[in-house]
Amino acid sequence: MAGESDLFFIEQGKKRPHEEAVARVVGSTFEKMGFMEARLTDEEPPPSNSITTVMEILSPVQTRMFFSAPEHLGWSIAENLYGLEDLTMEAVGDMMKELLNTITGGLLSELMPDTPFTLSIPTLCEDTQAGVGKTFVYHFNIDNKGIVTMILCGNDP
Amino acid sequence: MPMRILIVDDTTTARIFAKKCLTNIGLHDAEFMQAVHGIDALEKIRETPPDLILTDLMMPEMDGETFLKTLKEDPDLQHIPVLVVSSAGNMARRDALLAMGALDVLPKPFSTTEIYDVLKSFVQAEEDDDGWGE
């Protein structure tokens, strides 16, 4: 279990700290909410228009998480999750925010099961402006339909 | 008389997903109400009291914890069961929410099996020939 100030640094030296926990939480979220498989991959998504959401972890650590998906994949995930085809961009953005919220809460619950935490409300953003600190990037292949990106920002400058 | 269920969450996705899960576990005849935060929920509850409430924790205006506390302090409303469904509901928070009167705390993401295990008594009551609330 991670300490309070070193949530993403307890496994220093690793390219992707807490890789198994992140993979488990993202996999479970996609499986339960969208009946889709999310597989951790070293592939990077090709350049495309993306939908990106961000949320802050306010306590016990101060850090930030981003979640990004190519637009076409965002629509595809939303169709699966809602079970509808006549979606709007607003609905797709709303779904991206809920996925990030669920993944972030799930990850913190797994890494710090006995520690209360506070999160901000997720919002849409233009880009993954990570800010200060080290960042860790995780890509997930979603049902071979495309790649989503999760970015965890560390809190050391 | 169909069971009336209020889903309180600020995201449309979460409300749709919760409704889909409740329908899948057998509550397809229930009447669903929706609210986007605690204040909205309290207004709707005072107008039309539900038989069961599902609420998120992190919401603007009034969060789920304040909503639960307000509801459980109101003698006219405190009998309504409240299931907390939240990504912020880890074990550390769970005990406090149960002490405040929550029926249970279910972390997101949850499966239909997991929500059925918590709500099976409601499903059985709904399936009962005598109906709900009669």
The DSSP code for A46 is P
CA distances from A118 to A91, A154, B23 (A): 25, 16, 31
Q: Are B16 and A109 in contact (CB < 8 Å)?
A: no
Residues counted in chain B: 134
Split at pLDDT 50, 70, 90, the class of A69 is very high
Residues counted in chain A: 157
Residue B102 confidence (pLDDT): 95
Residue A13 confidence (pLDDT): 59
In a domain, B66, yes or no: yes
**Predicted confidence (pLDDT) at residue A2 exceeds the cutoff of 50:** no
Instruction: Report the pLDDT averaged over residues A47-61.
Output: 89
Residue A138 confidence (pLDDT): 93
Residue A48 confidence (pLDDT): 82
Per the structure, the complete domain to which residue B24 belongs is given by: 4-127
> Smallest CA–CA separation between A80 and chain B, in Å?
11
Buried b (16+ CB within 10 A) or exposed e, A93-110: bbbbbbbbbbbbbbbbbb
Question: pLDDT tens, A131-157?
Answer: 556 788 899 999 999 999 999 886 554
Residues of A with CB under 8 A from a CB of B: 28-29, 32-33, 81-83, 91, 94-95, 97-99, 101-106, 108-109, 112-119, 121
In a domain, B133, yes or no: no
Q: What average pLDDT is seen over chain B? A: 89
Nearest 5 degrees, angle CA A21-CA A27-CA A29? 105
Residue B50 confidence (pLDDT): 96
Break chain A into its structural domains and give their ranges: 17-43+50-154
Give percent above pLDDT 70 in chain B.
Answer: 93
Residue among A83, A106, A116 whose CB faces B109 most closely: A106
Split at pLDDT 50, 70, 90, the class of A33 is confident
> Smallest CA–CA separation between A107 and chain B, in Å?
9
pTM of the predicted structure, to 2 decimals? 0.84
Structural domains in chain B (count):
1
Q: Are B13 and A97 in contact (CB < 8 Å)?
A: yes
Residue A130 confidence (pLDDT): 57
Instruction: Report the pLDDT averaged over residues A52-76.
Output: 91
Burial bucket for residue A1 (CB in 10 Å: 0-12, 13-18, 19+): exposed
Instruction: Name which of B93, B87, B65, B68 is nearest B78 in CA terms.
Output: B68
The DSSP code for A143 is T
May I ask the CATH class of domain A17-43+50-154?
Answer: alpha beta
Q: Which residues of A touch B91 (CB under 8 A)?
A: 109, 113-114
The interface predicted TM-score of the complex, written ipTM, equals 0.78
Q: Which of A30-34, A109-113, A133-137 comes out lowest in average pLDDT?
A: A133-137
The residues of chain B scoring below 50 in pLDDT are 133-134
CATH of the domain at B93: 3.40.50.2300
